[in-house]
Structure 1
Amino acid sequence: MEIFGIGTDIIEIHRIKKNIENEKFIKKIFTENEIEYFKKRKMKRESIAATFSAKEAVSKSIGTGIRGFNFIDIEILRDEKGKPYVKSYGGFKKFCIDNNIYEIKLTLSHCKEYATATAIALSN
């Protein structure tokens, strides 16, 4: 196991508030599974902001940002205890396979004004 890269992101929650009312934005950035999670959480903007921040942190952990793939190629889900995890699709999945990235560790946090995420990409 080797650390491929580390990424972190922080976002002001009020910035995401404007965008979550735009269905086009939601569908461009988030997968159906993520949207279902948000609906279960009553579309709380801090959960949406933390998930957006996680996607940014993940893209930074592989050193590319959102290049060669789309936001919806990175899916941020939670297990039964609420621990976040990453699923990969499309161009992001291909990048991970090509670079032997087998897991991305992720942590999320938020307060009243900010949401933040840190991601560590692990490779063989």
Structure 2
Amino acid sequence: MIYGIGTDICDVRRIRASWEKHGERFVRRILSDVEYATWQSRHARWPERGVRYLATRFSAKEAFSKAVGMGMRMPMTWRSCEIGKLPSGQPVIVLHGALKAWFESHDLVAHVTVTDESDYAASFVVVEYRNPPVQAS
């Protein structure tokens, strides 16, 4: 049973402008420590790839916040929601702290997909009950 669905499209140029204006302070606000390390590596090799990575993470976190119905308010924070990947490359949502506790207490599981194309990054998240509640008839 679906708990919520979220989608987001992000203008990569807007993310680039924020990064150019605020520098690493902006990046640190959005990314977890693990994501930040990946961003540094990608940005060092090819700055545009770093910007796209940042935009896809921004978009996926926005989509997740919509799927759980919180927006960006506690316990949802940029850094408590991490977009990781499996060895296959499939993106996954990794939660931390109070957000993880809230999510687990509601017995939820999330599925995420991300994509980017020149000027845009987009994400789609489906959150469902791990064990759907029994509905009275």
* TM-score, scaled relative to structure 2: 0.82
Structure 1 runs of 4+ with >4 Å offset: none
Q: Which residue of 2 aligns with 1:122?
A: 128
Moved more, 15-24 or 35-44: 35-44
Say if 2:54 is the partner of 1:55: no
Offset at 1:32? 1.1
- In the aligned structure 2, how far is the partner of 1:122 from the partner of 1:37? 28
Amino acid at match of 2:27: I
Q: Which residue of 1 aligns with 2:39?
A: 38
Amino acid at match of 1:58: F
Q: Give yes or no for contact 2:110–2:125 (8 Å, CA) kept in 1.
A: yes
Which secondary structure does the structure 2 equivalent of 1:109 belong to? strand
* TM-score, scaled relative to structure 1: 0.90
Amino acid at match of 2:6: G
Which secondary structure does the structure 1 equivalent of 2:123 belong to? strand
Q: Which residue of 1 aligns with 2:72?
A: 66
Which secondary structure does the structure 1 equivalent of 2:25 belong to? helix
Q: Give yes or no for contact 1:85–1:105 (8 Å, CA) kept in 2.
A: yes
Name structure 1 gaps, 5 residues minimum.
none
Which secondary structure does the structure 2 equivalent of 1:110 belong to? strand
**Root-mean-square deviation (CA), in Å?**
1.4
Offset at 1:62? 0.5
Which secondary structure does the structure 2 equivalent of 1:65 belong to? coil
Identity percentage over the alignment? 30
Q: Which residue of 2 aligns with 1:8?
A: 7
Amino acid at match of 2:5: I
Which secondary structure does the structure 2 equivalent of 1:80 belong to? coil
Partner deviation per Cα, 1:16-53 (whole Å, 9 max, x = no partner): 00223421111111111001122232352112101110
Name structure 2 gaps, 5 residues minimum.
132-137
